[in-house]
Chains A and B, each alone.
Chain A
């Protein structure tokens, strides 16, 4: 059942509410509509809104959530498994541990060999190709934040390792990185805040061979959205809860079998586990400026009833979840910004104008220098937040600064990346226009990824 209006921008084409149609304008609009119907017929794009092929690219049809597997309720209310914080280090050090370095090396290779070559096509088709998803599963990325005793690969808090992995993966492509890291956000959330029953019910699926698509849904579609004050609501109903609201920017929402949704319960923001088949849950494609390979979606919750197993963690866990997600987005920006730097250097050295490489001009060379300087700063600020998170220290300030810096300076890097290539940067022959679109996501996105 459709309960909310179609997205405002689609209905109004970016017009403000002050714009008024005059009679000629009305006639033109009718013509436009007629022309469209013909086009729809010609390309056979009209589809009923049953559970059908999810057309993420060009249309905004709403469909029911994916059929989810049976998450058989398990556990008996014992003690959940928790990863211990990394031991606090007393020494200033920028060297990853051996384990982290090994992981980074493998992921870097995946990013270069598998992810980057698939990026342009994934962006165009607004979907992540199966081989890319499979390869990341083979590396065990969804279990990075899961304790060993629950079938994961971690023996301590993995925020630093997760940061390094997100950075390395986004060097290949940010959209595909989001698509492949999305299930890990849910499994990490379960590991960090799930009770024993929730872990026993849901985690086995993530540590097995057939890892489900899953997504952490925190963003909501409105200006000045504040993740700490969601408008999606949860109210108690018998021994369960009822959720209402709209979540935005949910990676691979149509494929996801399990969501972790942010909602306000008794005036406090909380996380809720919601299976995709729940009645009243619908998914709508939300193709966006960038990150198209992540098949971003809206998840509409209309009186969705969930059991007493649904609430995940407490209000302070919700806040930590938002912070860890922002950390992951900062990490992603590092990889994409580095991709820009690595791409523009050979370009400005080879491109000639006025009889010499354009890199011989200070106005060009200084832009490259500033990309290098700001990127290094972004990386250090993000790493500080990550290492504090991993060591169990308070990191609210550090992650806020990382997000601010990566939003501001990261976008500048994306902007300069296109500018340095000039007209060539504006066309899809080169990847810089995609990175420009992807980097705008930092500072907008909440949820989706988590370290």
Chain B
């Protein structure tokens, strides 16, 4: 039966995440936006609490750890549909990012590398890397969206892979204790030869070069790494070491089907914060949003707000759809990209427009609206830019290969 309300059984989880966002993230939002690169120590306490909750089975993971597709199937609820960890994750990420995107990205043991491990690792690896905090290293100075052409190499030498290359834009790279590094086993074999490797911090040959100074999500550190003859056990390669040209990029890319709805959820959460505050500021200024009257009969501010909220609603539901499909083991890479594309662009549009609607109050640091407008921009870039999502969606709809539609 068609129903698009957040599942009843996740209400406690959502409520919990909301309280954390309101009482821990928000009070620290401006502090770490101003003090970039300072470690948000408040999060350690929170991480301990989250660990406690998940051990007692009360939390389905506040972030990326929730995306592993467990094979054991909790009995399907009514009508044969399942609301599982994917939905739980996007819903809690939305709440947390309503609090603060940068701080969510700094949550210990909730890195994007953890998602990669959860998505691609075999059971032995999943067990071995349980409890690590893993950042994700894909981008290089010479390649971003075109991740098939990465230059970092991994050469098998005895029982170890030797990694050489340079990686940038590693979220939580400084604070994480492990980095999942994308490298090619053989540059001549193209994307099929690209694999991901778990590299523990402190491995000889691995150097953190610098931390970036950014437009937004300043509470989250973004690191650059150099790898010089950096050796990791060959068991740290995630997934299969076989170079299967037929499978191509699919293995590594599977991560994205899981992480894109999460990034979409971040954009949705952040934009909701902007909408809520702007609505209240407008009300104080005497502008009430009337859902029954046509937009064109209301003030321009109200009409703009209605359009923003409508686009937000679409982004929100596309995100839930992508997660729901994953929960029900239905292929969702098309919907995941749709969610990421819509949420990414709606996130920027909403937060930027809210600054304009709130005037200097929105632009100044008195409110957080200007910060949310800076934070949300990254969400239309990382884990696949707007344009990459459009490319993926277009190829799927048109039935084109990456060679035909480039």
Contact = CB atoms under 8 A, between A and B. Distances in A.
A372 B291 contact: no
B284 interface: no
Given A92-B324, A96-B2, A224-B297, A360 B405 contact: yes
A376 B294 contact: no
Interface string B24-51: 0000000000000000000000000000
Contacts of B53: none
A417 to B, nearest CB: 14
Contact of A368 (B3, B79, B292, B397): B397
A372 B334 CA distance: 10
B1 A86 contact: yes
B2 A94 contact: yes
Interface in A99-152: 100
B314 A95 contact: no
A226 B297 contact: yes
A94 B4 contact: yes
Contacts of B294: 224-227, 443
A359 B405 contact: yes
Interface in B274-302: 291-297
Interface stretch (A26-34, A196-204, A238-246, A377-385): A377-385
A297 to B, nearest CB: 22
A225 B394 CA distance: 39
Given A369-B397, A400-B292, A383 B4 contact: yes
Give the residue among A368, A369, A405 with the most B Cβ atoms within 10 A. A369
A359 B2 contact: no
B290 to A, nearest CB: 9
A362 interface: yes
Contacts of A95: 1-2, 79-81
B293 A369 contact: no
B9 interface: yes
A349 B1 contact: no
Interface in A398-426: 398-402, 404-405, 408-409
Nearest to A405: B310
Interface stretch (B94-102, B178-186, B238-246, B335-343): B335-343
Contacts of A227: 294
Interface in B300-328: 306-307, 309-311, 313-315, 317-318, 320-321, 324
A275 B81 CA distance: 47
Contacts of A369: 341, 390-391, 393-394, 397
Given A226-B297, A404-B295, A366 B317 contact: no
A370 interface: yes
Contacts of A408: 307, 310
Give the residue among B5, B335, B404 with the most A Cβ atoms within 10 A. B5
B391 to A, nearest CB: 7
Contacts of A24: none
Contact of B318 (A319, A322, A362, A377): A377
Contact of B317 (A372, A384, A409): A384
Given A89-B78, A92-B5, A381 B317 contact: yes
Given A377-B315, A400-B291, A405-B313, A92 B338 contact: no
Contacts of A376: 318, 321, 335, 338
Given A94-B324, A226-B294, A405-B314, A400 B306 contact: yes
Contact of A92 (B293, B296, B320, B341): B320
B313 A401 contact: yes
A373 B5 CA distance: 21
Q: Give the size category of A's interface with B.
A: 35 or more
B400 interface: yes
B291 A397 contact: yes
A249 to B, nearest CB: 14
Give the residue among B2, B292, B324, B342 with the most A Cβ atoms within 10 A. B2
A92 B6 contact: yes
Interface string B342-353: 100000000000
Contacts of A384: 4-5, 313, 317
Contacts of B341: 369, 373
Contacts of A160: 2
Contacts of A293: none
A391 interface: yes
A380 B398 contact: no
Contacts of A378: 314
B81 A91 contact: yes
A224 B294 CA distance: 8
A443 B307 CA distance: 13
B87 interface: yes
Nearest to B292: A228
Contact of A365 (B6, B320, B321, B400): B400
Given A90-B7, A91-B83, A372-B338, A380 B317 contact: yes
Contact of A404 (B310, B318, B404): B310
A383 B6 CA distance: 14
Contacts of B7: 90-92
A193 B103 CA distance: 52
A348 interface: yes
Contacts of B318: 373, 376-377, 380
Contacts of B306: 400-401, 404
A224 B296 contact: yes
Instruction: List 6 tightest A-B contacts by C-beta distance, closest first.
Output: A377-B314, A90-B8, A400-B291, A380-B317, A365-B394, A89-B3
Interface of A: 86, 88-97, 100, 160, 224-228, 319, 322-323, 341, 345, 348-349, 357, 359-360, 362, 365-366, 368-370, 372-374, 376-378, 380-381, 383-384, 386-388, 391, 396-402, 404-405, 408-409, 443
18 contacts: A91-B8, A91-B83, A92-B324, A96-B1, A224-B294, A227-B294, A348-B398, A362-B390, A369-B394, A373-B318, A373-B338, A376-B321, A376-B335, A383-B4, A391-B3, A400-B310, A404-B306, A443-B294
Given A89-B1, A400-B292, 8 more contacts: A93-B324, A366-B391, A376-B335, A380-B317, A381-B310, A399-B291, A404-B307, A408-B310
Interface of B: 1-9, 77-81, 83, 87, 291-297, 306-307, 309-311, 313-315, 317-318, 320-321, 324, 335, 338, 341-342, 387, 390-391, 393-395, 397-400, 404-406
